[in-house]
Amino acid sequence: MGRLPWLRRGVSTLALTVVLVVPATATAAGSVPGTPGSAGLGDRLFPTLGNGGYDVRHYHLALRYATSDPAQSIDGTVTITARATQSLSSFNLDWAGDAVGAVEVDGRPATFSQQDEDLVITPARTLRDGRRFVVEVSHFTATPTVVDPDDDTTTAFFVSPDGSATALQPAYAHRVFPSNDHPRDKASSSFAIDVPEGTTAVANGVLAGTSTRNGRTVWRYRQRQPMATELTQLAVGDFEVTRRGEADGVPLRDVTPRRPSVELLPDLALAAGHMAWLQDRVGRYPFDLYGSLVVDAPVGFALETQTLSFYDTAWFDEPQGVWEPTMVHELAHQWFGDSVSPWEWSDLWLNEGHATWYEVFYAEEKGQLAEDTGGYATVEELMRRVYALGDQWRAEFGPVARQASAELETFFSPNVYFGGALALYALRQKVGDDAFDAIERAWVSRYEGESASTDDFIALASEVAGEDLTAFLGRWVYGTETPPMPGHPDWTVEPVPAPV
């Protein structure tokens, strides 16, 4: 995610293709013992998010927008191809939308019930461990909301003067479509979005084609690389799509409200240079295309929706030294957070610490860092100030990789962003520039398209650096006290204020 309100306006707290599969061979109920899949994956911060007992391989979303009214509900059918990881008598999908019409499993009607934010599905036959199966949830409905700055759920699926769009991080995809809504279970996706002729529909991935008949157009998209549900983007309305050719080998497209496109497009064009800058440092871009989506709604943040970074128009009212480093931040997320997703949400620092790392180094190189961070002219000066606040932030928000709670102010705290970048700074101080660069490239290469944990990062860093970094990095990301900074014995940590 881009910076939250505590970093808005330059103020720093530092000062379609459906996958064809053979349906599962289902055994007669009772012939093979089946058990229910778990309701939740046991995430430390979001224990009921996601579901156990199966692995999603592909989502196909068919959505109908009946009119051009931005506030309209959608009517959808999601077809989910999955593999059972146990013999399943029943299983859950995350779902908190309006309603569901019917459910089928392998073409047979299945019974279902709503329990809290789960759709509990009982197939006609037990699903055997290891076999693929297909779930179709038809005629589900979801309704966009008007953004309320005091209610973060209203930005999940929201209206603007131009249409509707989604911003689903961290746990809101299942408010829009039934899914296994946790980044540990990634899958390829395809979309067929049926809208009135003349309306633009945009989703993640490559446009696979459009067809128009009887006054309606179906837009088809294919996201062939695995994607976490929270990174899904569905933008429909009076949007203009600008295709820019290739930048450093990557096709670029931007999506903007038709009204202010003239003002926005020159700013968004800078992504071509950002792509070259990041590929030079991190390696090959992991997806088929990239671009930006801008919406005219007061969402208050930017977000790394896969292949199509998301901003509101207010970002571009800021000085360039604020919005341009933010664009680099969101592009960096395509590697760190999108291609390599967190195993659980405590691992968020692997997303945000890395994106902040490349943001501040780009800003320093371009002379934008002081504007971006509220006055720090160099990354070293910035890191020294972050270091000084380390114990205070750990006390208030929890360690870098152990947030104290799932409340958004704590979950997306400065300790995850800048404290995460500080842990990377410490690692580079410890192993040297060359080894650090090799770790970064190895991380996004080895775990491309997968979900990986903080412990995975520590193990990989140790392997690449040729030394055991378990204790060193463990103190930086799990410790309640800020460790000494290698190479900077003069850096000091400010004491935690006594409780009032």
pLDDT digits (tens, 9 = 90+) for 260-294: 777 899 999 999 999 999 999 999 999 999 999 99
pTM (2 d.p.): 0.94
pLDDT in tens, 66-103: 999 999 999 999 999 999 999 999 999 999 999 999 99
pLDDT, position 262: 79
What tokens does 357 get?
A: 């790392």
The predicted pLDDT at position 14 comes to: 46
CA 116 to chain centre: 24
Rounded Cα gap, residues 147 and 154, in angstroms: 5
Residue pair 204/291 in contact by the 8 Å Cβ criterion: no
Please give the sequence-ordered ranges of beta strands (E in DSSP) within 234-389, or none if there are none: 234-237, 239-247, 250-257, 290-295, 309-312, 341-342
Domain regions of the chain by residue span: 49-237, 341-478
Which two three-digit tokens encode residue 205?
Answer: 């991935």
Residue 12 has pLDDT above 80, yes or no: no
Averaged pLDDT for residues 180-203: 98
Q: What is the CA radius of gyration of the chain?
A: 23
Q: Report which DSSP code applies to 173.
A: G
Check pLDDT > 80 for residue 37.
yes
Question: If one looks up domain 49-237 in CATH, what number appears?
Answer: 2.60.40.1730
Rounded to whole angstroms, the Cα distance separating 21 from 473 reads 43
Q: Compute the average pLDDT of residues 164-181.
A: 98
Q: Note whether 58 and 190 are within 8 A (CB).
A: yes
435-467, pLDDT tens digit by residue?
999 999 999 999 999 999 999 999 999 999 999
Which CATH number is correct for 341-478, 1.10.390.10, 3.40.1190.20, 1.20.1250.20, 1.25.40.10? Answer: 1.10.390.10
